[in-house]
């Protein structure tokens, strides 16, 4: 069975523990469970990851590129956390590894501080889901499959 990688950036391991008004009450484990159910309905497995380290996220994108070329992975649903707004390295990795990425943000970044309005990921994303809460991951999975399968 082909898989979809769901990749989460810094501090998303804290989901459900603080700032529920911004990010909701669901934990990352809840998000993983929700994604597993949805991916199964769509006919895919999931490879669910989180890291607080930019280099680990870059390595995951490179790995995704190899798995896609081997026909084992469809693409990546990616919430890069605050690296969204800072990381040219992640932008380069997505472009360089030719990975179809759906960028997901739980909160509506455009309704928040100005420094969250710019994304280095959006120009190389296949699609973007913003402000739909943790359900955005489900929408990201559906969007990726709809676009690519
Ligand atoms: O809305 C999103 O999904 C974000 O990617 C979340 C990032 C933020 O830096 C982006 O601007 C938008 C922050 C993730 C931190 O998550 C926490 C969850 C609970 C408590 C503290 C942080």
pLDDT digits (tens, 9 = 90+) for 120-147: 999 999 999 999 999 999 999 999 999 9
Cα 97 to Cα 109: distance, rounded to the nearest angstrom: 26
Q: Is the confidence at residue 28, as pLDDT, over 80? A: yes
Q: Is the pLDDT of residue 1 over 80?
A: no
What is the helix, strand, coil percentage profile of the chain, to 5?
Answer: 50, 20, 30
Residue owning the nearest CA to atom 6 of ligand 1: 81
24: left (phi over 0), alpha (psi -120 to 50) or beta: left
Token pair 């590129």 in the structure block, residue? 65
Each residue's pLDDT tens digit, 49-63: 999 999 999 999 999
Q: Is 62 a catalytic residue?
A: no
Query: Which atom of ligand 1 sits closest to the CA of residue 18?
Result: 20
The answer, yes or no, to whether residue 149 has pLDDT greater than 90, is: no
- Contacts of 17-26 with C-beta under 8 Å, sequence gap 24+, read 22/106, 22/107, 23/106, 23/107, 23/134, 24/106, 24/133, 24/134, 26/133, 26/134
Is residue 44 among the annotated active site residues? Answer: no
Q: How confident is the model at residue 110 (pLDDT cuts 50, 70, 90)?
A: very high
Would the pLDDT of 25 be above 90? yes
Evaluate: CB of 23 within 6 angstroms of ligand 1: yes
Position 67 pLDDT exceeds 90:
yes
- Does the domain at 3-148 match CATH 3.40.50.2000? Answer given as no
């Amino acid at each position: 069975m082909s898989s979809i990688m769901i990749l989460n950036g810094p501090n998303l391991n804290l989901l459900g523990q603080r700032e529920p008004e911004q990010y909701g009450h669901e934990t990352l484990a809840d998000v993983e469970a929700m994604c597993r159910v949805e991916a199964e309905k769509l006919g895919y497995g999931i490879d669910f990851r989180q890291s607080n380290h930019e280099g680990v996220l870059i390595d995951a994108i490179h790995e995704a590129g190899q798995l896609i070329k081997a026909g084992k992975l469809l693409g990546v649903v990616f919430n890069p956390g605050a690296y969204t707004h800072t990381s040219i390295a992640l932008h380069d990795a997505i472009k360089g590894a030719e990975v179809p990425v759906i960028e997901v943000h739980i909160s509506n970044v455009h309704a928040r501080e100005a420094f969250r309005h710019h994304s280095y990921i959006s120009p190389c994303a296949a699609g973007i889901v913003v402000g739909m809460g943790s359900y955005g991951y489900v929408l990201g999975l559906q969007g990726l499959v709809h676009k690519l399968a």
